[in-house]
């Protein structure tokens, strides 16, 4: 199940980004008004993105717990718990743009819904920042545990690198420039999720866990 959850999590997050291709300013502090206008102009893409992100993040929480159980070190379990909590908080926040597109903006002039839009999208951005903080820290802990185990050193180093790249993105709620780092951090942690999910599937018949 953790293997499937990881692949669904990676696919959901990748699709969530892809659906926002025509929505300007998405997840950028310095472009909240542009994000709001794009959300209203592209309600279908916004709702599809919200659903994809939410499903993907819930799946990521399951993947993280499953991987933590396989590694079986205190650091790995703590890291997995941090990632799962961050993913679930973010899953709630990613539905806020859909609320704006479906329930707040329709039938109202921009001057009426823009303040609410800023609040909803600001909440989404803040919960995404929390996700990057907890997910990044969890990746470092899990990756270090895998690297120390000696059985998956390259995967462990990838996890550490992905975590270290993700942590600064958590400043996106206060500094617009932090969001740009996601162009590096996102592909790294998606690669780690996919690689570790494949590793879980390949090791299903093996009773020995990934221990240090």
Would residue 8 be called left, alpha or beta, if left means φ above 0 and alpha means ψ between -120 and 50 degrees? alpha
Query: For 147-188, what is each residue's pLDDT tens digit?
Result: 886 667 899 999 999 999 999 999 999 999 999 999 999 999
Instruction: Give the model's pLDDT for residue 205.
Output: 37
**What pLDDT does 72 receive?**
80
Identify the residue whose tokens are 């270090």: 144
Percent of the chain whose pLDDT exceeds 90: 84
Q: What mean pLDDT is predicted for residues 19-38?
A: 97
Q: How confident is the model at residue 208 (pLDDT cuts 50, 70, 90)?
A: very low
Looking at residue 150, its pLDDT comes to: 60
Record the tokens describing residue 206, joined without a space: 């093996």
- Is the pLDDT confidence value at 49 over 60? yes
User: Which element (helix H / strand E) includes 55?
Assistant: helix 43-71
Residue 211 pLDDT greater than 80, yes or no: no
- Across 14-33, average pLDDT: 97
Which tens digits make up the pLDDT trace of 79-130? 999 999 999 999 999 999 999 999 999 989 999 999 999 999 999 999 999 9
Instruction: Note whether 132 and 185 are within 8 A (CB).
Output: yes
Query: What residue ranges do the domains of the chain occupy?
Result: 2-202
- Arithmetic mean of pLDDT, 12-38: 97
Is the full-model pTM beyond 0.85? yes
């Amino acid at each position: 199940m953790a293997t499937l959850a990881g692949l669904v999590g990676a696919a959901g997050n990748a699709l969530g980004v892809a659906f926002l291709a025509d929505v300007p300013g998405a997840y950028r502090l310095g472009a909240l008004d542009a994000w709001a206008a794009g959300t209203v102009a592209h309600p279908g893409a916004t709702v599809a993105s919200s659903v994809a992100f939410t499903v993907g993040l819930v799946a990521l929480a399951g993947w993280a717990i499953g991987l933590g159980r396989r590694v079986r070190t205190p650091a790995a379990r703590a890291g997995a718990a941090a990632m799962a909590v961050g993913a679930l908080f973010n899953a709630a926040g990613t539905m806020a743009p859909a609320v704006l597109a479906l329930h707040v903006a329709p039938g109202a002039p921009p001057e009426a819904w823009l303040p609410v839009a800023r609040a909803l999208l600001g909440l989404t951005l803040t919960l995404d920042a929390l996700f990057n903080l907890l997910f990044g820290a969890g990746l470092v802990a899990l990756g270090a545990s895998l690297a120390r185990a000696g059985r998956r050193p390259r995967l462990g180093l990838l996890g550490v690198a992905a975590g270290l790249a993700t942590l600064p993105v958590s400043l996106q709620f206060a500094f617009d420039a932090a969001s740009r780092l996601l162009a590096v951090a996102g592909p790294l942690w998606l690669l780690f999720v996919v690689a570790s999910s494949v590793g879980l599937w390949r090791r299903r018949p093996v009773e020995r866990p990934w221990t240090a």
